Structure 1
Amino acid sequence: MNPKLKEKIRESLAAVLPITGIVLLLSIFLVPLEIGTVVMFFAGAFMLIVGMGMFQLGAEMSMSPLGEGIGVEMSKSNKIGLAAAIGFIMGVLITVAEPDLQILSEQVPSIPNSVLIITVAVGVGLFLSLAVLRIILKIDLSLLLMILYAVLIVFSFFVPKEFLAVAFDSGGVTTGPITVPFIMAMGVGLSSVRSDKNASSDSFGLVALSSVGPVLAVMILGCCYSPKDAVYSAAEVADVVTMKDVTRAFAMEIPQYAKEVFISVLPIAAVFLVFQIASHRYQRRQRRRIVVGFLYTYIGLVLFLCGVNVGFAPVGTMLGRELAGGNQKWLLVPIGMLIGYFIVKAEPAIQILNRQVQTVTNGTVSAKAMNRALSIGVAVSIGLSVMRILTGIPIQWIIIPGYIIALILSRFVPKIFVGIAFDSGGVASGPMTSTFLLPLCIGACEALGGNIMTDAFGVVALVALTPLIAVQIMGLQYKFKMKKQQMMTKPDDMLPEDIDTIVEFEEE
């Protein structure tokens, strides 16, 4: 087996294993599950692990170099209109192929899947175009985010309440395992041509701005649909007796997902072909690597979606329904928080983020401290999500104060931390949130007789909100440590690189 693929599968196993262990314990002590249901869950988990590993390797081999290459060529062209148009087109195409969005669309009962996916894709495309213009024109990210989120907060009071949670969830799921590598690589490519002091900090922020577009787009869409009349049809676990039945249950669904994924990935492959013909950027070995990456992406995405929708998510819905329907429904809060703590702790993308922050701060803010802060923060956000289901608290009461706090913090932390924080919101709301926690909340809401559109949806949005605050608090910690170091260290005793770091920090 490819050593890199083996590494990615191990990372996926680390992300899925805590949930499978918790589900197994719940099935023993609180919610007895039939053997067939447990087997379907573990079969789905196995496909999810292999599929996610192949998919992440494929995205790394194909999406990242393609995104960086396009970013570099856009920056060299010096044609603002062309750069904005390419940003829009790539935002649309990449989002259509995003697995997290496809999973969310399957669970929203109000509108057809294709309508929701296209609406979100257009939103991402428009705001990715805006993000590209921000880097080229050197617009301050913090100021731009404050304006955009102020618009979202004001607009949220005019959107039907049944659609508000789904809108904020859409912003979280669009920044998933296929979108993040491409968009972040595009940002690196765009800023790499620049040599000014803000080039490194401006490479962050594309994901942050791309997350705003879908929220606004779905809010507008909510004014055109009537979610009150929607009926949610929960996916049920297939009734199986033998292992042959299990195999048949998955085999019957694979052709449909293979067709859908082919349609989603084909436009991106076409973009690569056109880009290579126009720029001749990649050598033969690079071209072969990217083509193999597309193959890994395709196979991995098919396995991922099939495993999630047939065996994994339905068990999450069932557990939520059973826990909420019993006499111990308040156990949902600690159980949800426990799952949230381990989900973010094991997310491969979160570990990459933590190492990135440790490198940027020269170890002043450690990966261990970041890991702990994000784990606690996401656990709290899951607890709040379950509390909303049990009490019916409107999502505005949590999401609006949260964003106000995050935006206020953005005026006091070093610029680079603002980009990292707002980018990390999408990273934290990874595949595990939409594949297990959202179905769990939907099942619980269904059992309690609540409104799924207003009460169950919103969990992805809350998970995406926490890192905005947590990372910026780390940024404040870094700021104070640098100030303290500056006060305690005499200039004559400082190394040249230390002086450069403090000078750059002062300028920020």
Structure 2
Amino acid sequence: MEKLKESISSVLPVTGIVFLLCFTISPVPNDLLMGFVLGAVMLILGMGLFTLGTDLAMTPIGNHVGSAVTKSRSVWMIVLVSLLVGVFITMSEPDLQVLAEQVPGIPNMTLILAVAVGVGFFLVVAMLRMLLRIKLSHLLIAVYLFVFLLARFVPREFLSVAFDSGGVTTGPMTVPFIMALGVGVAAIRSDSNAENDSFGLVALCSAGPIIAVLVLGIVYGDVAGTYVPVAMPQIADSKELWLLFLTAFPKYLKEVALALCPILVFFLLFQVTKLHLPKGELIKICVGLVYTYVGLVLFLTGVNVGFMPVGSFIGQLIGGMSHNWIIIPIGMVIGYFLVAAEPAVHVLNRQVYTITAGSIPQKALSTSLSIGVSISVGLAMLRVLTGLPILYLLVPGYLLAGVLTFFSPPLFTAIAFDSGGVASGPMTATFLLPLAMGTCSGVGGNVVVDAFGVVAMVAMTPLITIQLLGIYHKYRFRPEEVQEEEAASEDEDGGDIITF
């Protein structure tokens, strides 16, 4: 019941905003509206079951596997397992499947493989960073400098897709496992900064796909595809409405099963060889996996069948208006509330609250995240209307985020870059992206160049707002003690310490 209450409070604001739009400036057909309502119900049930399953299964599995791999003290074992986990889980990530289907001109499997290899490689980098105690901010600055250098040689049709891929890969399947894996690895370190270093894995795993797709763009050349608009279902009655959802269930039953299989195989392998967990804990994990499976199936069916067509339709209507600039404030309001409906955001909030023993309030973190996403969606809609190149926004944004790493406490920097990845999940890919595409079609823009990139914008602005929150905490609470601890820590091991 607690999880259902959380999901209701997350989904209802977005649903209310869409209803308000439907009854005022952008009326939609009754069949689409009823599909949206049924999709919202599935979204609430699915998110509640998924978050419950994450607590019971995904987090314990990640913790146990991470600890077992690191206790082996074999660097080759850590590298191999991290690479395989990154590749296989990413290939099954539902968000990536959604993005690949919407990108014209690139074979789905080509894009998915490139992104999966990027995540796998950078998960290895992230694990080695934890073991070698390399400062995260320095590594992130170097990685993103390389990203923007590489972007100069890539066709513009690939730029938005590349930065979008960095956001969608860290979704509801990847984030709980990767974050728990980091906690498991950190658990074997005895220093005071181990738990702080468990953050930052998602941040690095978000950068890998960007580099992989940029390289793919250099090799692949110009995208020679045509954007295909989202199909609008024609529903005559309630029976056809239910059949529309019912026919979609097999697809997502298969997708989520493929997503869970690699995790299950890895866990069983480690259970037989290293873990040997008691029967009671195994049963609890199995029940949690069932909750996770059912929850994700309901969630993905609801957002893909119910939310995506409505988002595209509303975008087309508003884009065709003479005062289409109104999509900017509308997008900002939707973005503020939409981030609360992302399953992975709840996972991050709980882990931050647990590891910091409540020192970082969930409300402050959620509000900072919502403000960042709101700004990002407004900027993304401005791009759609004006055709502003995406690098004109991303370069200054990441430059500011890089500068803030020198002033924000290291823990907040790691959380900020992780938040950028978790904020851009299935809700962004299945509602905001179709909304941007529909608006771009309405104004007659280039959908591939101008509409893609909304996920990238959502992934960028939390880096700034949450680091600003960190600076506020740093100088608002015990500033003299914090600065003394930070200076002592930097002298000792590079400055990784909780400073808030």
Please list the CA deviations of residues 271-307 of structure 1 after superposition, one character each: whole Å capped at 9, or x if unmatched. Answer: 2221111113321111112222222222222222222
Stretches of structure 2 lacking an aligned partner (at least 5 in a row): 496-500
Contact 2:369 2:419 in 1 (8 A): no
Please list the CA deviations of residues 214-238 of structure 1 after superposition, one character each: whole Å capped at 9, or x if unmatched. Answer: 1111111223435542112222232
Q: In the alignment, what sits opposite 1:296?
A: 291
Offset, 1:485: 5.0
Q: In the alignment, what sits opposite 2:321?
A: 326
Structure 1 residue 374 corresponds to structure 2 residue 378 = no
Offset, 1:363: 7.0
TM-aligned CA distance change 1:237 to 1:43, over 3 Å: farther
Counterpart pick for 2:202 among 202, 207, 228: 207
Contact 1:382 1:462 in 2 (8 A): yes
Structure 1 residue 90 corresponds to structure 2 residue 85 = yes
TM-aligned CA distance change 1:35 to 1:91, over 3 Å: same
Q: In the alignment, what sits opposite 1:492?
A: none
Structure 1 residue 431 corresponds to structure 2 residue 462 = no
Q: Which amino acid letter does the alignment assign opposite residue 401 of structure 1?
A: P
Name whichever of 171-180 and 146-155 sits farther off.
Answer: 171-180
Partner SS, residue 253 of structure 1: helix
Contact 2:94 2:256 in 1 (8 A): no
**Pairs within 5 Å for 1:275-294:** 275-294=270-289
Partner SS, residue 180 of structure 2: helix
Please list the CA deviations of residues 24-61 of structure 1 after superposition, one character each: whole Å capped at 9, or x if unmatched. Answer: 11111111222111111111222222223323322332
Q: In the alignment, what sits opposite 2:110?
A: 115
CA-based RMSD of the aligned residues comes to 2.4
Percent of aligned pairs sharing the same letter? 49
Contact 2:182 2:201 in 1 (8 A): yes
Q: In the alignment, what sits opposite 1:468?
A: 463
Counterpart pick for 1:441 among 410, 413, 436: 436
Q: In the alignment, what sits opposite 1:418?
A: 413
Counterpart pick for 2:54 among 34, 54, 59: 59
Contact 2:195 2:355 in 1 (8 A): no
Please list the CA deviations of residues 162-183 of structure 1 after superposition, one character each: whole Å capped at 9, or x if unmatched. Answer: 0111111111111112211111
Contact 1:63 1:182 in 2 (8 A): yes
Contact 1:103 1:305 in 2 (8 A): no
Supply the distance in 1 between the matched residues of 2:280 and 2:232 (Cα, whole angstroms): 45
Q: Which amino acid letter does the alignment assign opposite residue 10 of structure 1?
A: K
Counterpart pick for 1:170 among 165, 172, 188: 165
Stretches of structure 1 lacking an aligned partner (at least 5 in a row): 1-5, 488-497
Q: In the alignment, what sits opposite 2:381?
A: 386
Supply the distance in 2 between the matched residues of 1:481 and 1:504 (Cα, whole angstroms): 20
Q: Which amino acid letter does the alignment assign opposite residue 177 of structure 1?
A: P
TM-aligned CA distance change 1:260 to 1:25, over 3 Å: same
Q: Which amino acid letter does the alignment assign opposite residue 26 of structure 2?
A: V
Q: In the alignment, what sits opposite 1:183?
A: 178
Partner SS, residue 93 of structure 1: helix
Name whichever of 97-106 and 384-393 sits farther off.
Answer: 97-106
Q: Which amino acid letter does the alignment assign opposite residue 421 of structure 1?
A: A
Offset, 1:352: 6.0
Name whichever of 95-104 and 461-470 sits farther off.
Answer: 95-104
Counterpart pick for 1:255 among 229, 250, 259: 250
Supply the distance in 1 between the matched residues of 2:424 and 2:179 (Cα, whole angstroms): 16
Q: Which amino acid letter does the alignment assign opposite residue 42 of structure 2?
A: M
Q: Which amino acid letter does the alignment assign opposite residue 382 of structure 2?
A: M
Supply the distance in 2 between the matched residues of 1:42 and 1:237 (Cα, whole angstroms): 16
**Pairs within 5 Å for 1:343-382:** 343-345=338-340, 347=342, 349-350=344-345, 353=348, 366-382=361-377
TM-aligned CA distance change 1:365 to 1:260, over 3 Å: closer
Length-normalised TM-score, structure 2? 0.92
Counterpart pick for 2:228 among 233, 241, 244: 233
Offset, 1:411: 2.1
Report how many aligned residue pairs link the two structures.
493
Q: In the alignment, what sits opposite 2:451?
A: 456
Offset, 1:267: 2.5
Supply the distance in 1 between the matched residues of 2:231 and 2:379 (Cα, whole angstroms): 27
Offset, 1:316: 0.4
Structure 1 residue 29 corresponds to structure 2 residue 24 = yes
Q: In the alignment, what sits opposite 2:67?
A: 72
Q: Which amino acid letter does the alignment assign opposite residue 63 of structure 2?
A: E
Contact 1:364 1:481 in 2 (8 A): no
Supply the distance in 1 between the matched residues of 2:429 and 2:177 (Cα, whole angstroms): 20
Contact 2:119 2:205 in 1 (8 A): yes
Structure 1 residue 396 corresponds to structure 2 residue 399 = no
TM-aligned CA distance change 1:368 to 1:261, over 3 Å: closer
Offset, 1:368: 3.9
Counterpart pick for 2:11 among 11, 16, 27: 16
Supply the distance in 2 between the matched residues of 1:205 and 1:396 (Cα, whole angstroms): 24
Name whichever of 455-464 and 50-59 sits farther off.
Answer: 50-59
Name whichever of 250-259 and 20-29 sits farther off.
Answer: 250-259
